[in-house]
Amino acid sequence: MRQVGDGTRLNSQERLFLSLAEQLTRPLLTVSHLSELAVADDPAALAHWQTVRAIADSSLQLVEGYTLSLRVHGKVTPLNLEPITISALLYDTAELLAPFARQYGVDVELDTGPRAQPVLADRAVLQAAFGSLGQVFVTAQAESEERLPVRLSAHRSRHGVVAGLYCSSTQLGVDSLRRARAIQGQARQPLQHLVGGPAAGVFVADSLLQTLAAHLHVARYHNLTGLAATLQPSQQLHLV
Amino acid sequence: MHILLIEPDRLEARAYVTVLERAGHTVAHTTMAQSAVHLADERMPDVVVLELQLPGHNGVEFLYEFRSYPEWQDVPVLLHTFVPPRELTQTPILQTELGVQRMLYKPATTLVDLCSAVQAVMLATS
């Protein structure tokens, strides 16, 4: 891999994408801030401005997730591993996702169980991953006739703490994710039976989770299927 | 309170000036480090809100010059920047020598957050 002169491990194409993503955050932030002002200034069009703001914020979060992924992969930004209470992190993610979901009339639910063990991870990376994934699931439900709630959930398994998002009992199978990996970077998004758009959030989430030596997999929990990651419990905090 | 806002993006600056003025502050805005020093001399700010990525001299260079004047050594500075926070924490000199009171990551900061942070910095130093 060619070094690009600043000590990072980004190749020239990644450097280009990083620059593009960083550039895109600026107009998105401006739209978000100006709509935040307009929410207060223009009560007659309140609902429209709330929509503009929610869409701008969610796009900003997606681009930020992609940027973070590139930065961590390229060693521009170091990983900050720490013990994380997964239920609190999923709660924060649900709070961030809620305004976007509200625009589409989709409910966001939280189910972390009574004793979800702390995990060793990078908080920003994990939150960006679940946030990106959540946007895809919300969009998918908005396009479906059932319009089921999107559920953020964490539970213990033999291999660690399984945390992810669930939305359907039938639409998501192992095959779809296998196909996803086969065509990643070469074709359109892999979950066409769930959502018709590009679903970039799935790729962003997977890329972010790979920085934590985890990856997305199809998971089943409480009669729902979804995409989740198995995270390593934090033994240190567990002792405390 | 008088705020010196150093922000290169004029559209963004318009939003920040509006929300800070609504909160009862007076705001002097400039896009560049060089003119910020002159503006600080004219307005004597109580707080500086600074983006690190500026055209010409960057925000760190501005801070070195700003802090070199005795009358501005205790003026609180709040970074409001596109530079990711975990990259800023690798530069402890910002807080230890250049007196940065607070760092806000722009993409994760609403206008309400910015106002609250300015208020908190003022309370902490008054």
Both tokens assigned to B119:
């208020």
Please, which pLDDT band fits residue A240 given cuts at 50, 70 and 90? very low
Q: Which of A107, A214, A88 is nearest to A154 (CA)?
A: A88
Q: What whole-number distance in Å separates Cα of residue B7 and Cα of residue B36?
A: 10
Average pLDDT for consecutive 10-residue bins of chain B (126 residues)?
96 96 96 94 94 92 93 94 84 82 94 96 84
* Per-residue model confidence (pLDDT) at position A151: 94
Q: Which pTM was predicted?
A: 0.86
* Per-residue model confidence (pLDDT) at position A152: 96
Both tokens assigned to A73:
């992969």
Both tokens assigned to B46:
């109580």
Number of domains in chain A: 2
Question: For residue range A89-111, what is the model confidence (pLDDT) as tens digits?
Answer: 999 999 999 999 999 999 999 98
C-beta separation of A165 from A132 below 8 A = no
Q: Is residue A239 part of a domain?
A: no
Question: For residue range A53-103, what is the model confidence (pLDDT) as tens digits?
Answer: 999 999 999 999 999 999 999 988 889 999 999 999 999 999 999 999 999
C-beta separation of A121 from A233 below 8 A = no
Pair A132, A224 in one domain: yes
Residues B90, A78: C-beta atoms closer than 8 Å: yes
Residues A30, B106: C-beta atoms closer than 8 Å: no
Which of B16, B107, B111 lies at the smallest CB-CB distance from A25? B107
Question: For residue range A199-237, what is the model confidence (pLDDT) as tens digits?
Answer: 889 889 989 999 999 988 888 888 888 889 999 888 765
Pair A68, A120 in one domain: no
Note the Cα A96 to chain centre separation in Å: 11
- Final residue before a domain boundary, out of A73, A103, A135: A73
Q: Does A34 touch chain B (CB under 8 A)?
A: yes
Q: Does A77 touch chain B (CB under 8 A)?
A: yes
Pair A93, A195 in one domain: yes
DSSP-assigned letter for residue A233: B
Pair A98, A208 in one domain: yes
Pair A48, A115 in one domain: no
Instruction: Report the relative pairing of strands B2-6 and B47-50 from DSSP bridges.
Output: parallel
Beta-carbon count within 10 A of A176 CB: 17
Q: Is residue A240 part of a domain?
A: no
Please, which pLDDT band fits residue A3 given cuts at 50, 70 and 90? very low
| Beta-bridge partners for B49 | B5, B78
* Per-residue model confidence (pLDDT) at position A187: 56
Q: What whole-number distance in Å separates Cα of residue A79 and Cα of residue A123?
A: 9
Residues A30, B9: C-beta atoms closer than 8 Å: yes
* Per-residue model confidence (pLDDT) at position A2: 39
Residues A26, B15: C-beta atoms closer than 8 Å: no
Nearest CA in chain A to B106: A29
Nearest CA in chain B to A36: B111
* Per-residue model confidence (pLDDT) at position A184: 54
Q: Is residue A54 part of a domain?
A: yes
Residues B82, A33: C-beta atoms closer than 8 Å: no
Pair A102, A215 in one domain: yes
Percentage with pLDDT > 70 across chain A:
83
Give the minimum alpha-carbon distance from B87 to chain A in angstroms, rounded to a whole number: 6
Collapsing DSSP to helix, strand or coil, A16 comes out as helix
Range(s) of the domain holding residue A125: 82-231
Please, which pLDDT band fits residue A4 given cuts at 50, 70 and 90? very low
Pair A87, A16 in one domain: no
The letter for the amino acid at B83 is: V
- A172: exposed, middle or buried (Cβ count in 10 Å: 0-12, 13-18, 19+): buried
Both tokens assigned to B10:
């004029």
Give the minimum alpha-carbon distance from A11 to chain B in angstroms, rounded to a whole number: 20
* Per-residue model confidence (pLDDT) at position B97: 82
- Final residue before a domain boundary, out of A49, A73, A97: A73
Percentage with pLDDT > 90 across chain A:
53
Collapsing DSSP to helix, strand or coil, A92 comes out as helix
Q: Is the pLDDT of residue A183 over 70?
A: no
- B40: exposed, middle or buried (Cβ count in 10 Å: 0-12, 13-18, 19+): buried
Q: What whole-number distance in Å separates Cα of residue A163 and Cα of residue A205?
A: 12
Q: How many residues does chain A have?
A: 240
Give the minimum alpha-carbon distance from A64 to chain B in angstroms, rounded to a whole number: 8
* Per-residue model confidence (pLDDT) at position A219: 84
Question: Residues with Cβ < 8 Å from B81, sequence gap 6 or more?
Answer: B50, B51, B52, B53, B59, B88, B103, B104, B105, B106
List phi, psi (to 5°) of B6: -115, 100
Listed by number, the residues of chain A in 43-72 with a beta carbon closer than 8 Å to a beta carbon of chain B are: 60, 64, 68, 71
In the block, residue with structure tokens 């806000």:
B104
User: How many CA atoms, within 13 angstroms, populate the side-chain half-sphere of residue A167?
Assistant: 27
C-beta separation of B101 from B78 below 8 A = yes
Residues B19, A37: C-beta atoms closer than 8 Å: yes
Pair A45, A108 in one domain: no
Q: Which residues of B touch A64 (CB under 8 A)?
A: 107-108
* Per-residue model confidence (pLDDT) at position A199: 83
**What is the sign of the dihedral through the CA atoms of B7, B9, B14 and B15?**
negative
Question: For residue range A107-135, what is the model confidence (pLDDT) as tens digits?
Answer: 999 988 766 678 999 999 999 999 999 99
In the block, residue with structure tokens 């609403």:
B110
Return the H-helix or E-strand segment holding A112. Answer: none
